[in-house]
Amino acid sequence: MPAGIKKKKSQLLAKAALVLDALQKRYPEPQTHLVAHNAWELLVATILSAQCTDARVNMVTPALFALWPSPRDLAAAPLEKVEECIRSTGFYRNKAKNIIAAAQRITTVYAGEVPSTMHDLITLAGVARKTANVVLWGAFGRNEGIAVDTHVGRIAFRLGLASGHDPAVTEKEMMALFPKTAWGVVNHSMVWFGRQVCDARKPLCQECEFLQICERNGL
Ligand code: SF4
């Protein structure tokens, strides 16, 4: 590896270490905002959270899980009733179709248990790497990747830890910079940080602990 590239990589690693340290100080126990009591509920809530606030999802899921508590229950649920129940989360037709199809696959292929590997999770309807990463860490404590949502992608790019806006590329770049044991923490603490400090439109840079090391890319 040429010396210049090696140096750049070591600088990025040092920056990532600083960022992780500061995020852990700010958020000692970062957790998802979604209310869920088991892997199944977390999976459904995460699917519903696409293009929707967590607060809105949390308003909808109690009724949904009261009517259809398990994958087996939801697998047999009438589509129109599920649509009605989750309507306020947006894109409700697709989401209803997806959570029913996921429930059916979990029931028939995985004996009613949410699978605990990336390989199996991404075979479920409505589940891509981002959702699978959230479920793997939140429900099983497994770090198989870094969920790159809008907050994580934006902050990583602004800080100069990611080269662009493609979530798949950003995930790979960040996985190379942060220790595997911290991947779930990186995701959840960056989501909080994005909501509280590094806002998409009005980032609070003067109050930010990263001001001296942030490239403020895109600003
Ligand atoms: Fe975001 Fe500004 Fe902090 Fe950079 S300095 S991480 S742009 S709030």
199 as an active site residue: the answer is no
Crossing angle between the packed helical segments 183-196 and 167-175, to the nearest 10 degrees: 120
| DSSP3 helix / strand / coil % (the chain, rounded to 5) | 65, 0, 35
62: tokens are: 């109690």
Q: How far is the CA of 213 from the centre of ligand 1 (A)?
A: 9
Asked whether residue 6 carries a pLDDT value surpassing 80, the answer given is: no
**Amino acid (1-letter code) at residue 194:** G
Atom 7 in ligand 1: residue holding the nearest Cα: 216
Residue-level pLDDT at 1 = 62
Collect all residues with Cβ–Cβ distance below 8 Å to 168 and sequence separation of at least 6. Answer: 129, 148
Does 33 or 70 have the greater pLDDT score?
70
- Structure confidence at residue 30 as a pLDDT band (50, 70, 90): confident
CA-wise closest residue to 45 among 119, 103, 111, 99: 99
Asked whether residue 131 carries a pLDDT value surpassing 80, the answer given is: yes
Per-residue pLDDT tens over the stretch 58-109:
999 999 999 999 999 999 999 999 999 999 999 999 999 999 999 999 999 9
Collect all residues with Cβ–Cβ distance below 8 Å to 49 and sequence separation of at least 6. Answer: 34, 57, 89
CA-wise closest residue to 135 among 71, 55, 40: 40
Asked whether residue 2 carries a pLDDT value surpassing 70, the answer given is: no
CB of 216 within 6 A of ligand 1: the answer is yes
- Structure confidence at residue 7 as a pLDDT band (50, 70, 90): low
